[in-house]
Structure 1
Amino acid sequence: MYFKSKIRMEVHRYFIYLSYDGSNYHGWQIQPNGSSVQECLMDALKMFLRKEIEVVGAGRTDAGVHAKQMIAHFDFERKLDVDKVCDKLNRILPHDIAIHKVIEVNKEAHARFDATARTYQYYITTRKDPFRRNYAYRLYQSLDILKMNEAAQILFEFEDFTSFSKLHSDTRTNLCTIMQAEWTEVDEHTLVFTIQANRFLRNMVRAIVGTLIEVGRGKISLEEFRKIIEEQDRGLAGASVPGQALFLIAVEYPESIFNL
């Protein structure tokens, strides 16, 4: 008797490095009633590779939020010419999504769970500028940047950021480790807040920025800011700022995932 041997397909995992203007999307994650970046990327891969491809992102950006660097992974049952994949995807995808590189990684590597740090920036402008309306939050008064930076330093004292988390989210823990949090002046009309952490909660950056703005306006003192975090109550923190001024800047991984 002869038996057909089963050929085991070797699965290859690939990281996609991309950027996008989030103005026309309902965020990264696939939505039932709205266009998403994840859906566009999956459709482009399906068109090129001629099969359904699942894409997993490093995180979820909300509606209108942009990414200068997002990382996503997908699997395929044969080795791909990564330069060709990059070129073809850029030809297929809309003008507001760009692929910068595609690389093969360790088969166990995970774009979301293996990320060790994520960095966001939030832009504020005090000048009306029609060319920045989708990329900065317009304020009509000056802020005390020194006080805002003093308050930002208080963030390092804590790990539980329930006060800045979206209510009724599906997260298992509200613990995060913040490695950087500071305001800088880009020019006389522009401020940027840079924050880096090992992970972020839903709406966390926008809630922190909204609360720090209240500190900069003199409506919340440094001790009140500390108390807001200690109380772990979202209702005590400031309102979330609009998403269009928020950018995912970078996602970092351990070198080991790139060892094939």
Structure 2
Amino acid sequence: MNTQRYFIELSYDGTPYHGWQIQPNATTVQECLDKALSTYFRQPVSTLGCGRTDTGVHATQFYAHFDLSVPPDGESIEAKAKLPDPLCSVTGINALLPYQIAVKRVFKVDADAHARFDATERAYHYYLHFHKDPFKLNRSWLYKGELDIEAMNAAAELLLNYTDFSCFSKSNTQTFTNNCKITAAFFEEQESGLRFTVRADRFLRNMVRAIVGTLIQVGKNELNLAQFKQIIESKNRSNAGQSVPACGLYLVNVIYPFVK
């Protein structure tokens, strides 16, 4: 039995889920997706995601890959399901998924294409708002207080000068290195609050939320730029600020050299 590898692009509201990755005794996005794909394609399907978002974190763009068994006579799974092209699978798969998870497209890739290791850049947004808004519940963090946005952006720019971000990483992770190359990090004022954008080749577990939490301390004038640099250079998580709530965090962009 031969196999064909596929990429699947999706988005999800992470509020009701315990993150992306399958866990025992907890509902996750990956679990729901694998069940839907297995039902739709009538064979066991296991996905591998481009990253691992935590409980309550959202994604407007997320990729995963999976393999389908193809009968040796050349009849494709799509043909057996009377679907001429994987793009036609989107409606059927979405019908099997909870409303909080939406598949955007499914497409063939080379057998060695990898959703996690082939990504060359990822981007996150973090949203804060300053006034109670029922339509932002679980979508943005309600922050009560004033912030020095200019100081926060000055500190965020310093991130581009470093590669070791151990101070912003959750401890006891299974990564071999805490090095990342951040190419952009800045706050923008919006009508109802703030949006933080950060781009890098890779991210560590809890990294963005820890960065934002530490930048908030700069915005509250609890840290100056020299102290912010000392925290990064210390490579010690206990020196950085608290992680901000998951509700404001979105994975928004994942770049591959072979995906348009």
TM-score (norm 2): 0.93
* Residue 107 (structure 1) aligned with residue 111 (structure 2): yes
* Residue 155 (structure 1) aligned with residue 159 (structure 2): yes
Query: Which residue number corresponds to residue 3 of structure 2?
Result: 11
Return 5+ residue gaps in structure 1 as ranges: 1-8
Q: Which of 124, 128, 134 is residue 132 of structure 2 equivalent to?
A: 128
Return 5+ residue gaps in structure 2 as ranges: 71-75, 79-84
Q: Which of 242, 246, 249 is residue 243 of structure 1 equivalent to?
A: 246
Query: Which residue number corresponds to residue 88 of structure 1?
Result: 92
* Residue 176 (structure 1) aligned with residue 180 (structure 2): yes
Could you tell me how far 1:99 is from its partner in structure 2? 0.5
What is the correspondence of 1:1-260 to structure 2 with a 5 Å cutoff? 9-78=1-70, 79=76, 80=78, 81-187=85-191, 189-255=192-258
- Aligned partners of 2:215 and 2:8: how far apart in 1? 34
Deviates more, 1:76-85 or 1:87-96: 76-85
Q: Deviations over 1:48-97 (max 9, x none)?
A: 11221110000000000000000000011234321232111111101110
Could you tell me how far 1:220 is from its partner in structure 2? 0.6
- Aligned partners of 2:127 and 2:92: how far apart in 1? 33
Query: Which residue number corresponds to residue 73 of structure 2?
Result: none
Q: Which letter does structure 1 place at the counterpart of 2:213? A: G
SS of match in other structure, 2:15: helix
- Aligned partners of 1:209 and 1:33: how far apart in 2? 30
4+ long deviations beyond 3 Å: none
- Aligned partners of 1:134 and 1:35: how far apart in 2? 18
- Aligned partners of 2:230 and 2:125: how far apart in 1? 25
CA RMSD, 1 decimal? 1.1
- Aligned partners of 1:31 and 1:150: how far apart in 2? 39
- Aligned partners of 2:197 and 2:132: how far apart in 1? 22
SS of match in other structure, 1:24: coil
Figure out how many residues of one structure are paired with residues of the other and give that number: 248
Q: Which letter does structure 2 place at the counterpart of 1:84? A: C
The percent identity for this pair of structures is: 50
Q: Which letter does structure 1 place at the counterpart of 2:111? A: K
Q: Which letter does structure 1 place at the counterpart of 2:252? A: I
TM-score (norm 1): 0.93
SS of match in other structure, 2:204: coil
SS of match in other structure, 1:16: strand
Could you tell me how far 1:133 is from its partner in structure 2? 1.5
